[in-house]
Every structure is written in structure tokens, then in C-alpha cells.
Amino acid sequence: MLRLRILKVTGNSMHPTLESGAFVLVMGFAINAKRFGIHWQQSLKVGDIVAVHHSRYGDIIKRICQIEYDDKRTITGLYLVGDNPSQSVSTEQMGRVEVEQVIGKVVWWVNG
């Protein structure tokens, strides 16, 4: 089942792409979508902006800078970065993000 969410950006970690106060449309799928064979995560690529639920930082919006795959070319983990490094948690601080933590891909936004 397709799930669309609207989130509000807080902070300047994704500036200038996303300004603080911007609204983003995030596309993901409900958890039970896996039983229908929908593997939407496989459409993720380096450079995409995603919303994730991080265990330490909560819900955050960042850009994918690296993707890890298993031997079947299935995504197993992501590394993220902010567009504004001086105002963002570093990739090293965030660490590897499990694909199950991805809320969805940012498909549209409006800056304030």
C-alpha cells in the first residue's frame, strides 16, 4: 500500500536544497507491502533525499551518499549526508542506516 506523508523541515542541514520551514512530500509503503512483493527500497539511489527514523536523531531528512548491497544486489544499508555540512550531523555520527528505518523518498518539496 502506497503511503504519502507530508513532513516539515526543521533546521538548516539540507540548505540550500531544503530550507528550514519547507514542506516535503515523502513516498513510501506500509510495512505489509513486503508480502505483496513490492520492494520500493530498491529504487533508492545515491543522491536521493530520504526521510528516515534514526534511532538517535529521530525523524531526519538527508541525502543518500552511499548504499550497501548484499550478494543479491538487495539494499542492506544506507549512509546519509546533509547538504550543509556545517549545520548537519556528519555521516560518521549518523552511522549506517538500516533500510527498514527509511520512511520514504522525498519526491516533492516547497520551500517557505
Structural domain boundaries, residue 34: 2-110
Structural domain total, the chain: 1
User: Is residue 33 very low, low, confident or very high in pLDDT (cuts 50, 70, 90)?
Assistant: very low
The mean pLDDT of the chain is 88
pLDDT at 36: 46
HEC secondary structure over 6-60: EEECCCCCCCCCCCCCCEEEEEEECHHHHHHCCCHHHHCCCCCEEEEEECCCEEE
Record the pTM.
Answer: 0.88
**In CATH, what number is assigned to the domain containing residue 41?**
2.10.109.10
- Report how far residue 76's alpha carbon sits from residue 60's, in angstroms, rounded to the nearest whole number: 19
CA gap 101, 97 in Å, rounded? 7
Grid coordinates given for 54:
534514526
